C-alpha cells in the first residue's frame, strides 16, 4: 500500500514537472508570439506610417504635378503668344526689309529757296500721293541759301530728307542788268542733281519746284514713262507739263506726245543723261540751255496733253512772267489714269513718227484768212500751215497759244508741228514749212 502510494506521489511529481514544463513552454511560446505580434504590429504601424507618408508625398507630388502642368500650359500659352509676336515682327521686319530693298523708280526733289509758304503747299500736295509709295519715290527738299523759315518748314516733315546748298561764291553776271537769281538757280540745280545722282546713287530723279501741285496719277505717269526712258535713248527727259495745257486747249488725259522742245516744270532725268550734262552745265538759264539743239542733239521729250503739275508761283524769280495768261489757266489732270495697263510703245522713236504722221495726215487742211473761224466750223481735226516764225506767231496769237520759240523750235512742237485742242475734242495742228516732209506725208 505504501509502495503504491509512493508510486502515485512519484507520478504526481512527474505530472507536476511535465505540467510546469508545459506551462513554461507555453509561456515562452506566448511571450515569443507576443513579441512577434508586437513586432508585427510595430512593423505594421511603421508600414502604415510609411504608407501614409508616401501617400502624403504622392499627394504632394500630384499637387506639384498639377501645378507644374498648369505652369506648363501657361508657359506654352505665353510661348505661343511670344511666337506669334515674333512672327508678326519678323513679317513686319521682312516687309520693311523688302521695302528698303526695292529699287526706287526715282528720287523726287523739291527745289526751294526763300518761299516757306509755297514750299508747304508743294510738300502737302506731293505727300498726298507719295506716302503709300515712299520707298519707290524717296522725297527730298533741296534748299538754296539759309532762309530760316524754309529750313524750319522742311525739317518739320519726317517723310522727307533735307539738303542745303550754301554757296558764298560771288556771282558775276555776263550781261549788265541780269538777275543774279538765274545764276544762283543754275548752281543750285547742278549741286542738287550731283548730290542725288552721285552721292545718293539714284538712277533717275524727278525735279519739282517749290510752287507746284501734282495730279493724282503723277507717280504712275512717271513710272510708265521710266520704261520709255530706259528703252529709248532718243528720249532726253520726261515732263509732266504742257505749255499749251490751258483748260481751253486740252481734252484727253490719256494722250501723250513727243516734243523737240524741253517743257520742264516737273520732269524726270536719267543718270546717263546727267553724266553728259553735268560737266558742261551752264552758269545761268539752264532750262533755255537744254532747249538748244547743240545740247539736246536731236533727242526729244515726252510730255502729256493734260498737265500732271500745276504751277501756282505768281511770285518768284521770273517776276510773274506769263502767269495770268499762261500759267493760272492750266488744267491739272484730275482723272486717275491706269498707266500700268496702257501700251505706250507707240511713243518709241521707231514707231512714233509714223503714228503722229497718220494723225496729222487725216486732219482737214485750212487756208486763207479767218482760220480760227474756219477751224471752229469744221468737224474733226484741222491742219493749218505756217510759213515761218513770224507767220506762226500771228496764227498762235489768234488762237491764244504760246507764241515763243527757242533755237528755231516753237513750244511743244514735234518736227515743227504744234498740236492743241480748240474748244472741243477737235485738234488743231500748226504745221511748219518742212513738217510734212519730215513726217513723210505727201501733200495732196
Active-site positions read: 287
Side-chain half-sphere of 331: how many Cα atoms within 13 Å? Answer: 17
Q: Give CA angle at 194 (192, 198), nearest 5°.
A: 130
Which cell goes with 317?
524769280
Which cell goes with 281?
552745265
Which cell goes with 265?
516744270
Rounded CA-CA distance 228/236 in Å is 10
Dump the DSSP string for 234-275. Answer: TEEEEES--TT-BGGG---TT-EEEESS---SSEEEEHHHHH
Q: What is the 3-state secondary structure (H, E, C) of 43-82?
A: HHHHHHHHHHHHHHHHHHHHHHHHHHHHHHHHHHHHHHHH
Other CB atoms closer than 10 Å to residue 16's CB: what's the count?
A: 10
How far the first Cα of the chain sits from its last, in Å, is: 191
Q: Which residues of 33-48 are buried (b: 16+ CB within 10 A; e: fewer)?
A: eeeeeeeeeeeeeeee
- H helices of 102-179, in order, are 116-130, 148-155
Rounded CA-CA distance 296/88 in Å is 52
Rounded CA-CA distance 339/80 in Å is 45
Rounded CA-CA distance 395/300 in Å is 25
Rounded CA-CA distance 15/117 in Å is 142
Which cell goes with 120?
508747304
Amino acid at each position: 500500500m505504501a509502495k503504491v502510494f509512493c508510486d502515485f506521489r512519484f507520478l504526481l511529481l512527474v505530472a507536476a514537472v511535465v505540467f510546469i514544463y508545459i506551462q513554461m513552454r507555453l509561456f515562452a511560446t506566448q511571450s515569443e508570439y507576443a513579441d512577434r505580434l508586437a513586432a508585427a504590429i510595430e512593423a505594421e504601424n511603421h508600414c502604415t506610417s510609411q504608407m501614409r507618408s508616401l501617400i502624403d508625398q504622392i499627394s504632394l507630388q500630384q499637387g506639384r504635378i498639377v501645378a507644374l502642368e498648369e505652369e506648363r500650359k501657361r508657359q506654352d500659352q505665353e510661348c505661343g503668344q511670344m511666337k506669334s509676336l515674333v512672327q508678326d515682327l519678323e513679317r513686319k521686319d521682312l516687309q520693311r526689309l523688302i521695302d528698303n530693298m526695292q529699287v526706287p523708280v526715282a528720287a523726287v526733289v523739291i527745289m526751294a529757296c526763300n518761299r516757306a509758304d509755297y514750299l508747304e503747299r508743294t510738300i502737302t500736295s506731293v505727300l498726298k500721293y507719295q506716302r503709300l509709295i515712299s520707298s519707290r519715290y524717296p522725297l527730298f527738299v533741296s534748299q538754296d541759301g539759309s532762309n530760316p523759315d524754309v529750313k524750319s518748314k522742311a525739317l518739320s516733315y519726317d517723310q522727307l530728307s533735307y539738303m542745303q546748298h550754301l554757296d558764298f561764291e560771288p556771282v558775276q553776271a555776263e550781261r549788265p542788268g541780269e538777275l543774279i537769281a538765274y545764276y544762283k538757280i543754275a548752281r543750285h540745280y547742278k549741286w542738287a542733281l550731283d548730290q542725288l545722282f552721285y552721292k545718293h546713287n539714284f538712277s533717275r530723279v524727278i525735279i519739282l519746284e517749290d510752287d507746284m501741285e501734282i495730279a493724282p496719277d503723277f507717280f504712275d505717269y512717271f513710272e510708265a514713262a521710266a520704261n520709255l526712258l530706259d528703252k529709248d535713248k532718243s528720249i532726253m527727259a520726261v515732263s509732266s507739263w504742257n505749255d499749251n495745257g490751258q483748260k481751253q486747249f486740252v481734252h484727253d488725259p490719256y494722250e501723250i506726245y513727243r516734243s523737240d522742245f524741253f517743257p520742264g516744270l516737273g520732269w524726270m532725268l536719267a543718270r546717263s543723261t546727267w553724266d553728259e550734262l553735268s560737266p558742261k552745265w551752264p552758269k545761268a538759264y539752264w532750262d533755255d540751255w537744254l532747249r538748244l539743239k547743240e545740247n539736246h542733239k536731236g533727242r526729244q521729250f515726252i510730255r502729256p496733253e493734260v498737265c500732271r503739275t500745276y504751277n501756282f508761283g505768281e511770285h518768284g524769280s521770273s517776276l510773274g512772267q506769263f502767269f495770268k495768261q499762261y500759267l493760272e489757266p492750266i488744267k491739272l489732270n484730275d482723272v486717275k489714269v491706269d498707266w500700268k495697263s496702257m501700251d505706250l510703245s507707240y511713243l518709241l522713236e521707231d514707231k512714233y513718227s509714223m503714228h503722229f504722221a497718220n494723225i496729222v495726215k487725216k486732219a482737214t487742211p485750212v487756208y486763207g484768212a479767218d482760220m480760227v473761224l474756219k477751224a471752229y466750223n469744221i468737224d474733226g481735226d484741222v491742219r493749218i500751215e505756217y510759213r515761218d516764225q513770224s507767220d506762226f506767231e500771228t496764227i498762235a496769237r489768234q488762237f491764244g497759244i504760246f507764241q515763243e520759240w527757242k533755237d528755231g523750235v516753237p513750244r511743244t512742237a514735234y518736227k515743227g508741228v504744234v498740236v492743241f485742242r480748240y474748244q472741243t475734242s477737235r485738234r488743231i495742228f500748226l504745221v511748219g514749212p518742212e513738217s510734212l516732209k519730215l513726217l513723210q506725208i505727201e501733200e495732196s
